[in-house]
């Protein structure tokens, strides 16, 4: 195994195990917040708490649990299980969902009491949603979310949800009839035949002999 291949293998292993560790940190933090007899430090240590808690506080739970998928997808490409273009598309897609999902949740659910973080939308979702409401109103903010989500899916997954909703009817192919030879108007055809007869000596001799 060459040096570059070894580096790819080591990086892939590190990214995959990091995604597993981060997912475990989110799981331990969720159980601890649910009052289960689980200690985050005992499960994933101080590093796990430092990684998981700020992400949940900033993005909210639904988006935070998608974050481990980003390094996991890149690890699959390093292992040769995904093509480079596919890996990049899925990484951008999951990153975009992590950014956009909290905003959609903040528009859907009631805001938390002042001073308390939103477990569903996080600080990011509440901030962007309030900003978009101020600029576009509640309905307009949903239009902006739909626009951003459609652009994200069209750019990464090559799928347009708006087109899927309104349907797509291919244009009917026009029937084209190809003739063996182009049709020549009768007047032009007679003129062409007369010119051919005038330039043909045999035709001229035949006419003189007949006379």
Higher-confidence residue of 170 and 31: namely 31
> How is the chain classified by DSSP, letter by letter?
--HHHHHHHHHHHHHHHHHHHHHHHHHHHHHHHTT-S--HHHHHHHHHHHHHHHHHHHH-HHHHTTTTHHHHHHHHHHTTSS-HHHHHHHHHHHHHHHHHHHHHHHHHSPPPPTTS--TTTHHHHHHHHHHHHHHHHHHHHHHHHHHHHHHHHHHHTS--HHHHHH---PPPPPP-PPPSSPPPPHHHHHHHHHHHHHT-HHHHHHHHHH-
Structure tokens at 59: 């993005």
Token duo for residue 90: 């899925």
In the numeric block, the tokens 């293998």 are attached to: 9
* pLDDT confidence tier of residue 68, bands split at 50, 70 and 90: very high
In this model, does residue 51 exceed pLDDT 60? yes
pLDDT, residue 115, reads 63
The 10s digit of each residue's pLDDT in 76-99 is 888 877 666 677 888 889 899 999
Contact (CB, 8 A) for 87 and 78: no
Task: Determine the average pLDDT of the residues in 191-199.
Answer: 61
Most confident of 9-18, 71-80, 105-114: 9-18
Q: For the purposes of burial, counting CB atoms within 10 Å of the CB of 79, is it exposed (0-12), middle (13-18) or buried (19 or more)?
A: middle
**Do residues 101 and 108 lie in contact, with contact meaning Cβ atoms separated by under 8 Å?**
no
What is the arithmetic mean of pLDDT over 183-187?
53
Residue with more model confidence, 71 or 171: 71
Q: Which residue has the higher pLDDT, 185 or 179?
A: 185
What's the residue count for the chain? 211
Q: How confident is the model at residue 24 (pLDDT cuts 50, 70, 90)?
A: very high
Over range 38-60, report the average pLDDT: 92
Whether pLDDT at 149 is above 70: yes
pLDDT for residue 193: 62
Number of alpha carbons in the 13 Å side-chain half-sphere of residue 60: 26
Residue 208 pLDDT level (bands cut at 50, 70, 90) = very low
Higher pLDDT residue, 49 or 84?
Answer: 49
Q: CA of 125: how far to CAs of 31, 93, 119, 144, 205, in Å?
A: 23, 18, 10, 14, 98
What pLDDT, in 10s, does the model give residues 86-141? 778 888 898 999 999 999 999 998 777 776 667 889 999 999 999 999 999 999 99
């Amino acid at each position: 195994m060459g040096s570059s291949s070894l580096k790819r293998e080591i990086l892939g292993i590190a990214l995959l195990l990091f995604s597993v560790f981060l997912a475990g940190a989110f799981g331990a933090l969720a159980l601890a917040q649910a009052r289960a007899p689980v200690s985050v430090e005992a499960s994933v240590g101080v590093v796990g708490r430092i990684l998981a808690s700020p992400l949940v506080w900033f993005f909210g739970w639904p988006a935070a649990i998608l974050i481990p998928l980003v390094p996991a997808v890149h690890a699959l490409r390093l292992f040769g299980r995904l093509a480079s273009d596919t890996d990049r598309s899925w990484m951008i897609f999951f990153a975009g969902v992590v950014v956009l999902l909290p905003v959609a949740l903040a528009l859907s659910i009631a805001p938390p009491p002042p001073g308390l973080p939103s477990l569903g939308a996080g600080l990011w979702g509440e901030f962007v949603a309030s900003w978009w409401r101020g600029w576009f109103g509640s309905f307009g903010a949903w239009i902006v979310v739909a626009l951003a989500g459609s652009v994200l899916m069209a750019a990464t997954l090559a799928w347009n949800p708006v087109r899927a909703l309104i349907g797509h009817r291919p244009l009917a192919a026009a029937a084209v009839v190809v003739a063996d030879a182009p049709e020549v108007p009768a007047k032009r055809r007679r003129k062409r035949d007369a010119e051919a007869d005038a330039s043909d000596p045999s035709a001229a001799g035949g006419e003189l002999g007949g006379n």
